[in-house]
């Protein structure tokens, strides 16, 4: 018999990020760690302990935040975060809201403090800690620790942007400042988006609603032009890489040669079906050579810069899915492929780094199945692959400088998270910290893993199914399908509760079975699995999701008359897509920030998967939800942030307009002032709103 | 026993304007008429008959549209409308999409044709048919019939507007061009709104959503500046009336002296509590004199220009509610009041005009009760008032030039509409045309009239109640309250079905009792009845509506647990206001285009009733719905046109934002591309959407 405590129904305030009590019910690993070269740093709230001998020795040193904060000139600055410099050493970087500092662990003194100028952002320290680059609005600056600053640009036109991320963060790009290894030079992006259309985002909370324009290049329309400058801290001069025409190509995956004299990058044509790995002279800016090309009739998508082999400056690692799965390749700087380092029907998802000698390269792989991640290494010489982690689940790791130990962060469906120290040669594992199960002692919905065959019969698709506590197979349960379904995603993996989130728990506690399945088009399953959706987004994905529905309908305990579906962004697109392609299946759908017609989506992502509207009119027609608005039979709630800069509100408004013309009746809700996702406290309201819609239109038991 | 035909349930396509079959079920008077001096013109689809002797003689003349359309230079122009010139004569004006023409009835020939230049609007012919004034965008032009044109302005700044309506159509203003009686001069408005804030209206149907800015002066903020020019068609020169400071005063109710040498207007201070009736010299522009002033601690609101007495150029009529009800006053041009012509606890709602000698003035009055309108006249000399219409209901009329006959248009709760010819001296009435009851033969909901005492116990408030066909007092019925409740309105009057509209019929057919009541603050009940709401909009109105609710709840056949409320604009404000002030009363509310906080509403209307936010902070606080969002207990659907230029969308978005912060859950729907009201086909969708919301959340019987 359950006690009241065990039967607790968790509220959304406890289950949803932003909720008042959420922090109490989110699994937290109590102790965090970092490598300081070959010392293990155990990070506390107000101090850091350094543990010698890669975590196996004595606690050698305690650094308190206070001793830094009391240093000269620190004023009110309080430490938010510390990080150790690459490769060990006695320097620690500390970050405050007012600046970044360098502290000498040995001498226990401040080496430098780089104050953040007012309105500055993107502050990036050079590797030698001599300079800090930063942006103010659209301009770029470099300063030394005395506060002397050099303006690398002086642009009044807000459409020309220096030192920031470009290409809308596609191709793995997340910033616009790239220091050379020694710190003498700095590469940076310059983006001219004056020719890009302005999308109006209206701030309705102003005294009189005010427009903030967002440069938003829509599929098939004018795109921005990117160039790359190189600033020399010695001469204080900037040269420009001669990247040539056409102007709307993509300059991605910038990397420096180890000597800081050359820049490598992956250049794509706007069509994104051909990539060149190019090298430029960073002193003169001149084009040096094409190392190699990759092309594909559908698209290529490099997301990882070249990685030079430690201690072998003439060799580098390249990641590519050219043989169908993302794998590692060894190249020399002439562009000659020396070796394919990994192979198989699995993927490398992340490269961790080399051991000290550069003999072994550590990485994360989808082994033994797409829903797992293990830490492996490959010996460059022999090609021998070693798996270093054994517990089934999701591992990520960092490597000590020597390469002798991994700091392994792990979770699995039944483990909320732990950190281990693993000896790479023996596999000897020491538990450093274990998160508690925040739901321990409560009667919780169960999460099960399973597979359904894809619509083309050729692949298994993974799902998770959440069943109410006290599940009774003789009863009939309503179903809530949660869907995403787009590229770069994986909803189902062997992490804590198979990745199931708080809303799923909430719905299961309300008596729903929750079902989440990764259809074809999603990530980590190889190229064919992903690019089968090319030029026809939404078609194959929906066919696969219908296989999941058929499976659900085959279950005796599922009430097929009481099914709902919910998703956000691509999942919002999928939600509406499902309702319109397969009317009558779902009673209810809730679509958040949905793409409605890919012609309103951005150039980079949109044209990769759909080509341009002019090149692929039939595909755009087929994937558009506008011309299917007449098919709406279910209750559909569309939710949008009215300042969404990613999937602009035009999508939802145009669908509403099409529905009105078609005589159908979707519902709509807006989150004023919010962007693509509702963050903070309002996220609880959002999930209450979503849930209420299910309550309203799915009959209670 | 009812036949299937009699039991027909009308659909919204039949009941709502814009519906496919609406024209078949809207009562239409089959024959229309106009005066041509002392001839009665019977207007057909392709011709007009003139009937001599004020409609009592023979049909003297047939004019076919074709004979005009085949005239010289007409090309593809087809006649949309004809109108006869004032005071009779042999000229008829005809209007086509391409221009306005003057046709000589006697000679059967075209006299003139004024083509409309491309993009022109506000075309206004001079009384002598010599010139046409028109606007193109923000500029003003005058042309003669040869097409020679004079530009009265050449303004590139779109914030400066010539020849168009100003003061946002308040004070009875509907245009910006005013020809003098002889046609020599033309007065026109010039409005400088460069200092007024731009409200962004986003057109989401553009390829990339585009902003159209609307100059929208919000309460307490900078307002536009208006001046008045006088164009002389002889000299082709423009002079400006010296209307002086402050610039944001109101220049309203422009009228010409009969000799065309002076302009009279009602000037108000921005506070709208003081009005001067002023005269200007139209030749020099100089200020001539203040004729008189009116002021009130709350507000004054002149809406009718001076009207000169026929044949007595030194006397004019002035309308004012200064003694508590709108009445007629006789003045001389020195500003001296000669006589109060009408008096009593009723109002003059419209002035029809003088008889030929100028001895009697005809007007419409709220006699014998506020819900009726009768045609009356007053003999200027004796003050004797004669009522010319007898059938109880709503009359409007036009007078023959002689004054011997009225063309009376009439409807009442049981008469869908008719036109009578009435001899003014004898009252002899001849039926000219009678509309058929479009619902004849069907079993229809009944409409009843009644009164409820106001919350202050001092006044009766009129309501109409629609009861389902086959009403059974032993049953319990759900209720839909429809509300407007704002100034200038009267929902309940003795017109066809007491003014009940198609949605009310629809709801009654679905089994609802529909209830509509005019609370204090609405029109035609005198000044005190209206201005009791001053500085506290929504308070007294809601108290009165609650009296209606209490009445409903007292009825044995009303199910108090199943009540909903719906309203638009001010009625949208009232709907939400009722839900928040009196939670738990209504299960459901649907608010369209609601005002949420009067600080977001315009200067002219807003400051009249609320003063500025700085002058009346407590009143704004009390009337704002933002700080009451936490009170929401009912289901509330808010509907807004996303390009609403009248009640801007900011209202609804801010309420949604406040509700999210308060943890309450209104629903929202937008009509993309629509303004303050949904017109055309989409109006049917709107009413289906509103009805569905009642269906969703008011339990069925």
Q: Give the CA angle between residues A572, A573, A577 to the nearest 5°.
A: 115
Reported in sequence order, the residue ranges of A86-197 that DSSP labels E, i.e. its strands, are: 91-96, 99-104, 109-115, 120-125, 131-136, 139-144, 149-151, 160-162, 177-179, 185-192
CB contact under 8 Å between A654 and B199, yes or no, is: no
CA dihedral sign, ordered B377, B379, B382, B386: negative
Chain A residue nearest residue B681, CA to CA: A661
Nearest chain B CA: its distance from A629 CA (Å):
14
Is B218 in the A-facing interface, judged by CB distances under 8 Å? yes
**In sequence order, what are the residues at sequence separation of 6 or more whose Cβ sits closer than 8 angstroms to the Cβ of residue A46?**
A64, A65, A66
Query: Tell me, what's the pLDDT at A405?
Result: 97
Query: Tell me, what's the pLDDT at B29?
Result: 95
* Mutation to test the A interface, candidates B16, B201, B221, B650, most A Cβ within 10 Å: B650
Neighbours of B214 (CB within 10 A): 16
**In sequence order, what are the residues at sequence separation of 6 or more whose Cβ sits closer than 8 angstroms to the Cβ of residue B235?**
none
Percent of chain B exceeding pLDDT 70 equals 99
Phi, psi of B61 (to 5 degrees): -160, 135
Check whether B627 has a pLDDT greater than 70: yes
Q: What is the DSSP string of B305-355?
A: --EEETTEEEEEEEEE-TTSS-EEEEEETTS-EEEE---SSS-EEEEEEE-
Q: Which helix (H) or strand (E) holds A690?
A: helix A682-697
Query: Tell me, what's the pLDDT at B621?
Result: 98
pLDDT bracket for residue B85 (50, 70, 90):
confident
Q: Would you call A340 helix, strand, or coil by DSSP?
A: strand
Query: Tell me, what's the pLDDT at A1?
Result: 46
Q: The domain B438-697 is classified under which CATH number: 3.20.20.70, 3.40.50.1820, 1.10.10.10, 3.40.50.800?
A: 3.40.50.1820
Is B283 in the A-facing interface, judged by CB distances under 8 Å? no
Rounded average pLDDT over A113-128? 96
Q: Would you call B463 helix, strand, or coil by DSSP?
A: strand
Our answer to whether residue B224 is catalytic in this structure is no
Our answer to whether residue A644 is catalytic in this structure is yes
- Number of CB pairs, chain A paired with chain B, less than 8 A apart: 103
Chain A residue nearest residue B597, CA to CA: A207
Rounded average pLDDT over B196-214? 96
Distance CA B148, CA B128 (A): 17
| A83-97, A212-226, B87-101: the lowest-pLDDT one | A83-97
Is B332 in the A-facing interface, judged by CB distances under 8 Å? no
Rounded average pLDDT over A401-425? 97
Phi, psi of A631 (to 5 degrees): -85, -5
CB contact under 8 Å between B673 and A657, yes or no, is: yes
Distance CA B258, CA B581 (A): 53
CB contact under 8 Å between B685 and A670, yes or no, is: no
CATH code of A118-305, in short, is 2.140.10.30
Are A87 and A37 contacting, i.e. CB atoms less than 8 angstroms apart? yes
Tokens standing for A317? 């690692």
Q: Of A301, A306, A337, which Cα lies nearest the Cα of A527?
A: A301
Is A283 in the B-facing interface, judged by CB distances under 8 Å? no
CB contact under 8 Å between A209 and B648, yes or no, is: yes
CA distance to A255, A375, A380, B400, per residue, from A316 (Å): 11, 20, 11, 99
Rounded average pLDDT over A316-341? 98
Radius of gyration of chain B (CA): 26
CB contact under 8 Å between A653 and B204, yes or no, is: yes
Residue indicated by tokens 């008596």: A511
Q: Of B280, B337, B278, B286, which Cα lies nearest the Cα of B302?
A: B278
Q: Which of B642, B657, B669 sits opposite A672 (nearest CB)?
A: B657
pLDDT bracket for residue B44 (50, 70, 90):
confident
CB contact under 8 Å between A671 and B653, yes or no, is: no
Strands B185-192, B160-162: pairing is antiparallel
Distance CA A104, CA B230 (A): 83
Distance CA B432, CA B134 (A): 37
HSE-up (13 A, CA, CB side) for residue A242: 9
Query: Which residue of the set B488, B676, B685, B689 is catalytic?
Result: B676
Query: Tell me, what's the pLDDT at A414?
Result: 96
Mean of pLDDT over chain A:
96
Are B190 and B198 contacting, i.e. CB atoms less than 8 angstroms apart? no
pLDDT digits (tens, 9 = 90+) for A233-290: 999 999 999 999 899 999 999 999 999 999 999 999 999 999 999 999 999 999 999 9
Check whether B503 has a pLDDT greater than 80: yes
Check whether B1 has a pLDDT greater than 70: no
Rounded average pLDDT over A200-226? 97
Q: Which of A211, A663, A696 sits opposite B211 (nearest CB)?
A: A211
Distance CA A534, CA A299 (A): 9
Query: Tell me, what's the pLDDT at B5?
Result: 58
Check whether A398 has a pLDDT greater than 70: yes
Are A15 and A22 contacting, i.e. CB atoms less than 8 angstroms apart? yes
Q: Give the CA angle between residues A645, A649, A652 to the nearest 5°.
A: 145
| A89-93, B6-10, B50-54, B269-273: the lowest-pLDDT one | B6-10
Are A12 and A502 contacting, i.e. CB atoms less than 8 angstroms apart? yes
Q: Of B336, B296, B259, B256, which Cα lies nearest the Cα of B534?
A: B296
Phi, psi of B452 (to 5 degrees): -130, 145
Percent of chain A exceeding pLDDT 90 equals 92
Distance CA A456, CA A474 (A): 32
Nearest chain B CA: its distance from A365 CA (Å):
42
CA distance to A519, A690, B415, per residue, from B312 (Å): 87, 72, 40
Distance CA A687, CA A691 (A): 6
Task: Tell me the fold of A29-115.
Answer: Thrombin, subunit H (2.40.10)
Check whether B499 has a pLDDT greater than 90: yes
Cα–chain center distance at A207: 36
Q: Which of A669, A670, A685 sits opposite B663 (nearest CB)?
A: A685
pTM listed for this prediction: 0.96
Reported in sequence order, the residue ranges of B413-547 that DSSP labels E, i.e. its strands, are: 415-423, 429-434, 446-453, 460-467, 477-483, 513-517
pLDDT digits (tens, 9 = 90+) for B395-414: 999 999 999 999 999 999 99
Rounded average pLDDT over A636-659? 98
Query: Tell me, what's the pLDDT at B293?
Result: 98
Domain A444-697 has CATH 3.40.640.10: no
Nearest chain B CA: its distance from A62 CA (Å):
44
Interface predicted TM-score (ipTM) of this complex, two decimals: 0.95
Is B642 in the A-facing interface, judged by CB distances under 8 Å? yes
* Mutation to test the A interface, candidates B193, B208, B219, B696, most A Cβ within 10 Å: B208
Distance CA A646, CA A644 (A): 6
Length of chain A in residues, anyone?
701
Query: Tell me, what's the pLDDT at A89?
Result: 82
Distance CA B218, CA B202 (A): 19
Distance CA A504, CA B607 (A): 51
Chain B residue nearest residue A693, CA to CA: B667
For chain B, domain boundaries: 438-697
Q: Of A164, A156, A148, A160, which Cα lies nearest the Cα of A112?
A: A148
Q: Which of B648, B656, B671 sits opposite A670 (nearest CB)?
A: B656
Nearest chain B CA: its distance from A246 CA (Å):
24
Check whether A86 has a pLDDT greater than 70: no
Tokens standing for B382? 């004796």
Strands A513-517, A477-483: pairing is parallel
Distance CA B334, CA B290 (A): 9
Rounded average pLDDT over B263-290? 98
Nearest chain A CA: its distance from B682 CA (Å):
7
Are B325 and B349 contacting, i.e. CB atoms less than 8 angstroms apart? no
Are A124 and A134 contacting, i.e. CB atoms less than 8 angstroms apart? yes
Q: Would you call A472 helix, strand, or coil by DSSP?
A: coil
Check whether B508 has a pLDDT greater than 70: yes
Our answer to whether residue A110 is catalytic in this structure is no
CA dihedral sign, ordered A56, A60, A62, A63: negative
pLDDT digits (tens, 9 = 90+) for A665-684: 999 999 999 999 999 999 99
Are B430 and B420 contacting, i.e. CB atoms less than 8 angstroms apart? yes
Chain A residue nearest residue B691, CA to CA: A665
Distance CA B7, CA A690 (A): 41
Q: Would you call A448 helix, strand, or coil by DSSP?
A: strand
A332, β-bridge pairs: A315
Query: Which residue of the set B153, B569, B634, B659 is catalytic?
Result: B569
Phi, psi of A13 (to 5 degrees): -65, -25
Q: Which helix (H) or strand (E) holds B618?
A: helix B617-623
Are B516 and B485 contacting, i.e. CB atoms less than 8 angstroms apart? no
Distance CA A105, CA A197 (A): 51
CB contact under 8 Å between B660 and A688, yes or no, is: no
Q: Which helix (H) or strand (E) holds B60?
A: strand B59-64
Tokens standing for B479? 């209720």
Are B327 and B315 contacting, i.e. CB atoms less than 8 angstroms apart? no
Q: Would you call B228 helix, strand, or coil by DSSP?
A: strand
CB contact under 8 Å between A204 and B657, yes or no, is: yes
Q: Which of A209, A667, A673 sits opposite B199 (nearest CB)?
A: A209
Is B72 in the A-facing interface, judged by CB distances under 8 Å? no
Mean of pLDDT over chain B:
96
């Amino acid at each position: 018999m359950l006690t009241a405590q065990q039967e607790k129904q968790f509220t959304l305030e406890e289950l949803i990020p932003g909720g008042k009590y959420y922090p109490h019910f989110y699994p937290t690993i109590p102790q965090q760690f970092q490598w300081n070269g070959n010392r293990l740093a155990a990070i506390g709230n107000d101090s850091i302990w350094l543990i010698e001998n890669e975590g196996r020795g004595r606690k050698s040193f305690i650094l308190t935040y206070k001793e830094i904060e009391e240093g000269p000139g620190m004023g009110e600055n309080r430490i938010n975060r510390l990080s150790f410099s690459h490769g060990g050493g006695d320097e620690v970087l500390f970050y405050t809201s007012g600046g970044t500092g360098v502290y000498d662990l040995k001498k226990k003194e401040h080496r430098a403090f780089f104050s953040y100028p007012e309105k500055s952002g993107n502050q990036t320290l050079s590797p030698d800690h001599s300079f800090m680059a930063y942006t103010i609005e659209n301009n770029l600056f470099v300063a030394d620790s005395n506060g002397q600053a050099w303006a690398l640009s002086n642009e009044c036109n807000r459409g020309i942007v220096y030192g920031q991320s470009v290409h809308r963060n596609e191709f793995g790009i997340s910033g616009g400042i790239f220091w050379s290894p020694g710190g003498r030079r700095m590469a940076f992006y310059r983006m001219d988006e004056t020719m890009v259309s302005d999308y109006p985002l209206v701030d309705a909370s102003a005294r009189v609603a005010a427009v903030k324009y967002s440069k938003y290049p829509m599929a098939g329309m004018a795109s921005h032009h990117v160039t790359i400058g190189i600033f020399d801290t010695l001469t204080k001069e900037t040269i420009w890489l001669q990247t040539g025409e056409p102007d709307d190509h993509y300059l991605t995956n910038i990397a420096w040669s180890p000597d800081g004299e050359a820049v490598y990058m992956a250049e794509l044509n706007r069509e994104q079906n051909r990539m060149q790995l190019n090298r430029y002279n960073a002193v003169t800016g001149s084009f040096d050579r094409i190392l190699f090309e990759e092309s594909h009739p559908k698209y290529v998508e490099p997301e990882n810069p070249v990685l030079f082999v430690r201690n072998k400056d003439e060799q580098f690692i390249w990641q590519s899915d050219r043989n169908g799965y993302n794998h590692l390749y060894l190249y020399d700087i002439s562009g000659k492929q020396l070796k394919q380092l990994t192979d198989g029907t699995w993927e490398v998802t992340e490269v961790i780094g080399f051991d000290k000698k550069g003999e072994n390269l550590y990485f994360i792989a989808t082994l033994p199945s797409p829903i797992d991640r293990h830490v492996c290494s490959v010996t460059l010489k022999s090609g021998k692959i070693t798996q270093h982690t054994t517990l089934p689940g999701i591992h990520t790791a960092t490597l000590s400088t020597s390469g002798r130990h991994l700091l392994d962060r792990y979770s699995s469906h039944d483990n909320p998270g732990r950190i281990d120290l693993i000896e790479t040669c023996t596999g000897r594992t020491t538990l450093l910290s274990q998160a508690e199960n925040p739901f321990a002692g409560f009667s919780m919905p169960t999460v099960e893993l399973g597979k359904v065959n894809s619509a083309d019969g050729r692949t298994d698709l993974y799902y998770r199914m959440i069943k109410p506590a006290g599940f009774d197979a003789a009863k009939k349960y309503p179903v809530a399908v949660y869907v995403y379904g787009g590229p770069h995603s994986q909803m189902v993996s062997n992490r804590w509760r198979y990745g199931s989130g708080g809303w799923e728990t909430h719905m299961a506690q309300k008596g729903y079975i929750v079902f989440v399945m990764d259809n074809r088009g999603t990530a980590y399953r190889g190229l064919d699995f992903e690019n089968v959706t090319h030029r026809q987004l939404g078609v194959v994905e929906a066919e696969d999701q219908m296989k999941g529905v058929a499976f659900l309908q085959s279950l005796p305990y599922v009430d097929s008359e009481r099914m709902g579906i919910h998703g956000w962004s691509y999942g919002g697109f999928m939600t509406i897509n499902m309702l319109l392609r397969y009317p009558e299946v779902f009673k209810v759908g809730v679509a958040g920030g949905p793409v409605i017609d890919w012609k309103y989506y951005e150039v980079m992502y949109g044209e990769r998967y759909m080509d341009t509207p002019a090149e692929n009119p039939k595909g755009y027609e087929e994937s558009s939800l506008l011309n299917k608005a007449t098919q709406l039979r279910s209750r559909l709630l569309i939710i949008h942030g009215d300042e969404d800069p990613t999937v602009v509100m035009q999508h939802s408004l145009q669908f509403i307009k099409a529905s009105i013309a078609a005589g159908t009746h979707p519902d709509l809700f807006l989150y004023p002032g919010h962007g693509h996702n509702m963050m903070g406290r309002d996220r609880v309201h959002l999930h209450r709103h979503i849930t209420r819609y299910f309550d309203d239109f799915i009959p209670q038991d």
